Amino acid sequence: MINVSVLGYGTVGSGVVEVLDTNRDSINKRAGNEINVKYVLDLRDFPGTPIQEKVVHDFSVIVNDPDVQIIVETMGGVHPAYEFVKEALEKGKSVCTSNKELVAKYGAELLEIARKKKVNFLFEASVGGGIPIIRPLNQSLTADEIEEITGILNGTTNYILTKMTDEGSAFEEVLKDAQEKGYAERNPEADVEGYDACRKIAILTSLAYGMQVDYEDIYTEGITKITDIDIKYAKAIGASIKIFGTSKKVGNKVYAMVTPMMIDRNNPLYNVNDVFNGIFVRGNLLGDVMFYGKGAGKLPTASAVVADVVDAAKHLGTNIMTIWSSKKLELASFDEASNKFFVRLSGDKNSLFEQVKNEFGDVKEVTAGVDSEYAFITDVMTESEFKEASQKFDNMVSRIRVGF
């Protein structure tokens, strides 16, 4: 029997207990051993529930119990999750977590402790919810040098953009609806400003290149400025607007960013809609692969955590090698990143045409029946070139990077 303890009995934590219970037989078979939940750490009691006897309020009970081999951390937030996980690993327990903030910030350090202690620190659920992406990156795409990772990594913002597209509604309206349905948090900042996607692309990029990517270094732009009119233009040319977390290797430089992107049907992520996530990976020999599924939700996320528990159970006493050192990966300057840009200027095309040509070169006009605007897509230019040209226009209504 292998004893597991769950830290935090919120949505994901209670999901973990439910998954272990629902699929007990098949999970035990796959783990090659019986998995038992010994303790649940939470501030609350849960009288009258099946876990009432297992609840403890003091982490030291768990971490000092030599019978506990695996700890599931589903509290979220960096503190005290970091201190708890670190102590657990140091005391020779494997840890499985869904906590992207923790992994993005302390992944390299915690992996190193796990390696030294011959235990495992696993975090499949921290990116893409139920979609297998961490283990494939770590164990399947090992013959390739990764040239690009681009993902729709946040279900809430993808839901909002999908609804805006399908219904022609404004951002604020859809956000309110999403909050009422429980798809968006009361405080939606982490999602709509791209912070959540930023931590996730930091984790994926660290794993792809085996070095620490600090999420603070990643240029991050959310979807709060995307309007129904932007989407109207996108639809007029058969495109859609998504928010991508991306990292790309160009020569020896790695660029990483989180930004809204206008993409067309040829992009494999074009059809990833609603709360679904999709993660596209390009290998130098493999070509393109994509992983798709529910990026959030109680049971999909808990399923990924439990898959880690099964893996930890199969590897008691052996560390599964993960290349992610604490050596910092210096990202290339965002100013040098290059893209096409979709631009909307207020005013009349005829009066703007010459100036646009002078500043942006030959552009491709986009029309969507919007009055008093001149909208176009530029050729590929760097961020700094674009910034410089933009400063000449105080009538710029919006600009969105273009991925086709």
Is 92 a binding residue for a second copy by CB under 8 A? The answer is no
Q: Between the CA of residue 351 and those of 64, 347, 360, 372, 373, what are the distances in Å?
A: 74, 8, 15, 11, 11
Task: By CB under 8 A, name the one of 91, 115, 135, 232 that touches a second copy.
Answer: 135
Is 124 a binding residue for a second copy by CB under 8 A? The answer is yes
Task: By CB under 8 A, name the one of 45, 67, 274, 288 that touches a second copy.
Answer: 288
Binding mask 179-218 for a second copy (x = CB under 8 A): -------------------------------x--------
Q: 5 and 71 in contact (C-beta within 8 Å)?
A: yes
Closest to a second copy by CB, 77 vs 287, is 287
Q: How far apart (Å, rounded) are the C-alpha atoms in residues 9 and 270?
A: 36
On whether 185 is known to bind a ligand per the annotation, the reply is: yes
Is 311 a binding residue for a second copy by CB under 8 A? The answer is yes
Point out which span in 36-44, 313-321, 340-348, 367-375 binds a second copy (CB under 8 A).
313-321
Is 23 a binding residue for a second copy by CB under 8 A? The answer is yes
Q: Would you state the structure tokens that stand for residue 78, as one six-digit string?
A: 């960096």
Is 391 a binding residue for a second copy by CB under 8 A? The answer is no
Closest to a second copy by CB, 243 vs 310, is 310
Residue partners of 94: CB distance under 8 A and separation at least 6: 69, 70, 71, 114, 119, 120, 121, 122, 312, 315, 316
Is 316 a binding residue for a second copy by CB under 8 A? The answer is no
Alpha carbon 238 to chain centroid distance?
26
CB of 33 to a second copy, least distance (A): 11
Known active-site residue 200: yes
Closest to a second copy by CB, 31 vs 396, is 31
Task: By CB under 8 A, name the one of 297, 381, 384, 396 that touches a second copy.
Answer: 297
CB of 263 to a second copy, least distance (A): 13
Q: How far apart (Å, rounded) are the C-alpha atoms in residues 17 and 40?
A: 9
Q: Could you tell me whether strands 396-402 and 338-346 are parallel, antiparallel, or unpaired per DSSP bridges?
A: antiparallel
Q: How far apart (Å, rounded) are the C-alpha atoms in residues 325 and 210?
A: 6
Q: What is the DSSP string of 204-262?
A: HHHHHHTSBPPGGGSEE--STT--HHHHHHHHHTTEEEEEEEEEEEETTEEEEEEEEEE
On whether 10 is known to bind a ligand per the annotation, the reply is: yes
CB of 22 to a second copy, least distance (A): 6
Closest to 282 in 3D by CA, of 264, 268, 292: 268
Q: Annotated catalytic residue: which of 54, 200, 242, 248?
A: 200
Q: Would you state the structure tokens that stand for residue 344, as one six-digit string?
A: 């909307």
On whether 82 is known to bind a ligand per the annotation, the reply is: no
CB of 20 to a second copy, least distance (A): 8
Point out which span in 65-73, 86-94, 263-271, 387-395 binds a second copy (CB under 8 A).
263-271
Point out which span in 154-162, 225-233, 268-276, 339-347 binds a second copy (CB under 8 A).
268-276
Task: By CB under 8 A, name the one of 46, 270, 334, 404 that touches a second copy.
Answer: 270
On whether 351 is known to bind a ligand per the annotation, the reply is: no
Closest to 157 in 3D by CA, of 177, 184, 176: 184
Q: 7 and 24 in contact (C-beta within 8 Å)?
A: no
Q: 313 and 106 in contact (C-beta within 8 Å)?
A: no
Residue partners of 133: CB distance under 8 A and separation at least 6: 124, 127, 204, 279, 291
Q: Footprint of a second copy on this chain (CB under 8 A)?
A: 19, 22-23, 26-27, 29-32, 124, 130-132, 135-136, 139-145, 210, 268, 270-271, 283-294, 297, 299-300, 302-307, 309-311, 314, 318, 321, 323
**Residue list, annotated binding site for NADP(+):** 7-14
List residues with catalytic annotation.
200
**Residue list, annotated binding site for NADPH:** 100
